[in-house]
Chains A and B, each alone.
Chain A
Amino acid sequence: MTDSPAHAPDAHAPRGLSRRGLLGLAGAGVAGLGLGIAGDRAALAVTAPAAGTNAGAVYPFYATHQAGIVTPAQDRLHFAAFDVADGTSRAELIELLRDWSAAAALMTAGKDVGEYGSVNGPYDAPPEDTGEALGLPPTGLTITFGFGPSLFQTTAGVDRFGLAARRPAELVDLPHFPGDMLDDGRSGGDLCIQACADDPQVAVHAIRNLSRIAFGRAAIRWSQLGFGRTSSTSTSQATPRNLFGFKDGTANIKAEEPAALTEHLWVGSDDGQAWLAGGSYLVARRIRMTIETWDRTSLREQETVIGRNKGEGAPLSGGTEFTGPDFELAGRADEPLIGTAAHVRLAHPGQNDGVRMLRRGYNFVDGNDALGRLDAGLFFISFQRTPATFTAVQLNLARHDALNEYIRHVGSALFAVPPGAAQGSYVGAPLFA
C-alpha cells in the first residue's frame, strides 16, 4: 500500500514551494536534526511522541491513491465543502489546486505552511501559517480532495471551467431518498477537503489554513467536525462504536483486502473518465440521531433494530463480532433471529448484490437544538468505485431499515476523489490535462 505509514516524510518537495519547506524536509530526514527548525512537527514527534499511539505517524501526500481513504481511520475529522467564487477562471482554479497540494504536502509531513511558517517570517507581516499546530506532531494527518458535480456544471447548466465534457456520468447529485430532510446549507459543494488526524487541533489547522489559502477563489459552503471514528479501515484497528452505543462498520472493506479494493473501491481505467482512474467517489451524509428517543428504548428493541448484540457486536444469529450473520437462522415462532428490518441485514453486502463500500464516518455533537436535544449523530463518509453502490444500499435502508425511526438524513454530498498527485504535480492534474 502506498498509504502505509512512513515515519520519515517524503524527501522530495515540489519545486517552487518554499525555502521553508525544503529546510524542514532536510531536517526531517535524519531524526533529531530537524529539531532546530521551527515548525517541523514531524521531527519533533520523533523525540517527543504525544499521548496517542499514532502521534508520529506520517502518511505521504504524494502517492498513487490519495491518503485518507484506506489509511487506518484516524480519530478526528474536519471536513469542509467549498464553493468556487464567482468569476474565478480555469487557470485560477488550477492555481488553487496547486497551492492546496503544496500546503497539504507540507502539513501532512508535519510542517508549517508557507515559506516562513508560523513564527519566522517578516515581523511586520501576518504569519503565513496560523500557528496553532506549532509543536504538535502530525498525528497521522491526511488531507483528501474531491470534486463535486457542480464544479463541472452548475445546476443552471453553466460550464464555468470547461470541464463539462469530462464529468463522469455517475457524478450527479444523489437522488432524494425516502425520509431525507436535507438542509441545502449542509449539502453539495464544488470542492471538498477531508482532513483526518488523531489530534483535532491538527485536523482543524489543516482546514483553517487551506481555507485561508482559498480566500478570494473559493469559500467554505459547510463544514463538519467529527470525533470518534465509527469505522475501522484496517484489520489492525478495533471496531469503534457510534453514538447509539453499537459497534459500526464491522464488515467494512479493509486495507488488507487488495482484491476487494480493486473491485469495490478504486475507479478503474475503463470505468468512464480516464482522469478518475485510481480515484474513488466520496459520499458524505450528515445523519442526525434522535438519541434522546433512542436512549429510552429497551435493550431488546435496540438490539433488534441493529441486529447485533450491544456488548460485543456479535450478530444476533450468534458467534463473535466477526462471525458472518446468518440471516436464515430462526428463533421462536420461526422468526429469524436477525429481523427482516434489522440494520445489519439491510446494509449487508449479501442483501445488496454483493456490493461493498469503504466507510469512514465520524460521530458528531454540534451543540444542541432549540428543543434542548443534542445535535448529535453520525457524519457518514463512504468511498466506493461508483455512487450507484451507495444509492442502492441507501434506497434499501431508507425503505425498510428499523433504524429510520431514530435517524434523519439532514446533509448530503457527492464528490469524485481524483487519484493521488505525483511529485511536483498537484491533485486533480489529469482532469485539467
Chain B
Amino acid sequence: MRARLLPLVAVTAAGLLALTGCVANATGSDSPNGALTVDSSADACTLSAAEAPSGNLSFTVTNSGDQVTEFYLLAEDGLRIVGEVENIGPGLSRDLVVQLPAGNYLTTCKPGMVGDGIDKTAFTVTDSGDDVVVDADLDAQVEVANTNYAAYVRDQVAQLVTGTQAFADAYLAGDDDTARALYAPTRAHWERVETVAESFGDLDPQLDLREADLEEGQAWTGWHAIEKDLWPADAEAGFAAYTPEQRENLSGLLVSDTETLNEKVQELDFTLAQQTNGAIGLLDEVATGKVTGEEEFWSHTDLWDFQANIDGAQVLYSGVRDILLEEDAELAADLDAEFAALQSLLDAQRVGDGFTLYTALSPAEVKAFADQVNALGEPLNQLTATLVL
C-alpha cells in the first residue's frame, strides 16, 4: 500500500499510474514520452505530437481562448469517450492522465462547451511493448453496481423510517430506557447512507446537527438534540430536561423529516464516481467525527456510528470490487486486507448487540482505530481515480 503512494505523488494526480497490475514494469519508461501538451484556442485544438507510445500518457491542456473549454480523447469511431477534461477556464491548464493501448484515436476541443468539438484530429498510439489491458465491457457491471446501491439506500432509509417511529414513540411516551436502547441501532441506518442523506440541503442539519454546529439563535432539532435530553449526565450546569411540549415537537420533526428523506431517495440513481466518492466520504466521516468521539457527544455511542459508516463504505466497495479486480487487483487486495483489519478492531469492542462506549476506550485503543482508518483511507481514496476517468 505504501509503495502505491510513491508513483502517484511522483507523477500527477490520477491514480491510473498505479495500475501496476496491468502495466509491466512501467517505471522509467513512461515519463520522457508520456507528456503531451494541448493548446485549446478559440478555433484550434493543437497537440504537441500526433503520436505517442502506448502506456500512461499525460495531456496538459491549456485554454488560450476566452471561453470555457473541454478536451476530448475519442476512440477511432469518434463516439466513445476515452478520456476528457472539462471546465477549463480561460487561461487555465489542466492535466488529463490516461492509460492508452496502441490504436487510433481522435482528439478534439470544445471551446464554449457547445457543438461537436472543433479541429478533430487523428492521434496514433504506437505499441511500446507495455501490456495495456483494454477495457472490457464495464458499462454493464457499472450499471448493476449502480442499481444495487440505489436499492441498498432505499432499504436502509426504509428501515430508518420504521426505527425512527419506534424511537420517537418511546421518547414521547417518556419511556427513556427504551428510547436509549433504540437510539444507536436506529441511527446506524442513517450512518450507513450518511453521505447520501447529506446531499439533501437542509435535511441533514435538521436531522443530524451537533450542538457545536449551531449558530447563535438557531433552533436545535434532530437526533443529537434528543440525545442530550436522554443522556444529560455531561450537560452543562443548569441544563433543564425538555418539557413534554419540547419532546413532542422534536420527535414530531424527527419523524416527518425522516419521511421526507425517504421520499427523496426513491428516485435516486448513482454514477460510479458518486459511489466511489461515497465510500471515501463515509471513511472521512469516521476519521473526523467518530474516531474523535465528537459525534455522539452525550451518549458516547460513537462506535455504533463507526461500524455503520464502515458498513456503508464496505457495501459501496463491494459493489465496485469486481470492476476493480479487472482494473487493479493489487488495490483490491489492499482494500480487502485493510477493511478486514478495521473490522477486527471493531469486533474486539463488541459488547452484546452493541459496542464499548467511546469514553471507555483507552487512548491506545483510540489510536489503533485512527491508525487503521488512515491505513484504509489511503488506498480507498485511490478508488475514484482508478475506476473513473
Contact = CB atoms under 8 A, between A and B. Distances in A.
A15 B13 CA distance: 62
A178 B213 CA distance: 4
B122 interface: no
A398 B213 CA distance: 9
Interface stretch (A31-39, A153-161, A308-316): A308-316
Nearest to A304: B87
Given A296-B381, A298-B381, A314-B89, A399 B370 contact: no
B257 interface: no
B214 A405 contact: no
Given A175-B215, A180-B212, 5 more contacts: A175-B216, A298-B381, A318-B89, A371-B366, A398-B215
Interface stretch (B39-47, B230-238, B286-294): B286-294
B204 to A, nearest CB: 13
B66 to A, nearest CB: 8
B59 to A, nearest CB: 15
Contacts of B381: 296-298
Contacts of B91: 314, 318-320, 323
B311 to A, nearest CB: 20
Interface residues of B, number: 37
Interface string B70-84: 100000000000000
Nearest to A290: B288
Given A373-B370, A398-B215, A405 B89 contact: no
Contact of A318 (B63, B212, B284): B63
A317 B63 CA distance: 11
B182 interface: no
Nearest to B215: A178
Interface string B320-340: 000000000000000000000
A293 interface: yes
A26 interface: no
B264 interface: no
A416 interface: no
Interface in A346-387: 370-373
B68 interface: yes
Contact of A178 (B214, B291, B374, B385): B214
B215 A290 contact: no
B202 to A, nearest CB: 12
A329 B384 CA distance: 27
B215 A329 contact: no
Contact of A296 (B68, B291, B378): B378
A11 interface: no
B118 to A, nearest CB: 17
Q: Is the interface of B mostly helix, strand, loop or mixed?
A: mixed
Interface string B356-389: 0000000100110011001001100100110000
B89 A176 contact: no
A337 interface: yes
B93 interface: yes
Interface in B35-56: none
Given A290-B288, A316-B87, A318-B89, A181 B212 contact: yes
A331 interface: yes
B89 A370 contact: no
Contacts, number: 96
B90 interface: yes
Nearest to A302: B13
A116 interface: no
Interface of B: 13, 63, 68, 70, 86-87, 89-94, 113, 212-216, 218, 280, 284, 287-288, 291-292, 294, 363, 366-367, 370-371, 374, 377-378, 381, 384-385
Contacts of A332: 70, 86-87, 113
Nearest to A323: B91
A298 B367 CA distance: 25
Contact of B384 (A298, A323, A373): A298
Contacts of B284: 293, 405
A315 B371 contact: no
A180 B216 CA distance: 11
A163 interface: no
A331 to B, nearest CB: 4
20 contacts: A176-B214, A177-B215, A181-B294, A293-B377, A296-B378, A298-B385, A299-B13, A316-B87, A318-B63, A318-B90, A318-B91, A319-B89, A332-B86, A337-B68, A337-B87, A370-B367, A371-B366, A372-B367, A372-B370, A372-B371
A245 interface: no
A272 interface: no
Contact of A329 (B68, B94, B212): B68
Contacts of B90: 317-319
Contacts of B374: 292
A50 interface: no
Nearest 4 Cβ contacts at the A-B interface: A318-B89, A318-B90, A331-B87, A371-B370
